[in-house]
Amino acid sequence: MFAEKLKKNGYIIKSFKDKDYTNVIRRIIKKHFFKNEEYYCKVSRDKFSKIALKCQDEINRSGIIKRFHLSEKDFLKQLLPKDLPMYSSSGYLRVVRPSLKKNNTESLSWHRETFYSNKKTTYHAINVWFPLSKVDKKNMLKYIPKSHLISDKKIKRRRVKVLNNKVKKLSPEHKLGFVYAPKKILSGVNLKKQKKFKINNGEFTAFSALLVHGNGENTTNKIRYAFGFGIIPKSKVTSKKIDSKNNTYIEF
């Protein structure tokens, strides 16, 4: 049933079986972000990213992806009935500060994963994403319903010039999942059809890497924390290397 749902809708929302799962990560976040909210909103992006990267590293070292695998064994069997899950060796702390001024967002713009990876495996990737702070309609990740069914050739995109805050390759921002050569969708997707994911705390979404998503601008006055990583069906993995950041595919 989960496999069919993913195919049809492009995403699934489910609660974690391991009820302590997100608390483990929240505790690590609290450890790194122990000052008041205002402080982190005011520091430079560079400084903020360095703090967030340290936090992301500790979350990854804590074995959070393996814990997901153990928590969601039954789910994964239903999701990949004839296959086995492999995972990106580390995940991303998806942290977005409030965008107080217009066009000052630190969120990822609309994309599907093939915009930033030309590997064949990417077409089969499933993204796992879940909130770690209060999420509502003002800071939620968005998606375009059924956009996973649009052929990649039909989506015309172009690289855009970034004037301020350009993300450099292998910088802390890049390691946090931001892109150094952002692209903009020109045609092929009706962005007006956008919807917000409705995911409560203690739940996650597993969505097709082809589902157009992003634009999770944060217009609240609090930092939005989420976490995400990729799953690839083992039969689709042709090379263990994922990206320039030394990520590989692993299995448990």
Residues that bind ligand AKG (CB under 6 A): 94, 96, 107-108, 127, 129, 141, 213-214, 216, 226, 228
Of 174 and 213, which has the nearer Cβ to ligand AKG? 213
Of 77 and 203, which has the nearer Cβ to ligand AKG? 203
Of 182 and 237, which has the nearer Cβ to ligand AKG? 182
Contact residues for 161 (Cβ-Cβ < 8 A; gap 6+): none
Q: Which of 215, 191, 183 is nearest to 96 (CA)?
A: 215
Contact residues for 174 (Cβ-Cβ < 8 A; gap 6+): 167, 168, 180, 245
Smallest distance, ligand AKG to C-beta of residue 66, A? 19
Of 75 and 115, which has the nearer Cβ to ligand AKG? 115
Smallest distance, ligand AKG to C-beta of residue 230, A? 8
Q: Which of 35, 113, 57 is nearest to 227 (CA)?
A: 57
Of 90 and 127, which has the nearer Cβ to ligand AKG? 127
Of 28 and 226, which has the nearer Cβ to ligand AKG? 226
Smallest distance, ligand AKG to C-beta of residue 237, A? 18
Q: Which two tokens stand for residue 95?
A: 């942290």
Smallest distance, ligand AKG to C-beta of residue 207, A? 8
Cα→Cα distances 216→11, 24, 155, 224, Å: 17, 24, 20, 10
Q: Which of 64, 78, 195 is nearest to 141 (CA)?
A: 195
Note the helical H segments in the chain.
Answer: 2-9, 21-32, 37-42, 45-61, 64-71, 73-79, 172-175
Closest CB to ligand AKG: residue number: 94
Smallest distance, ligand AKG to C-beta of residue 182, A? 12
Smallest distance, ligand AKG to C-beta of residue 214, A? 5
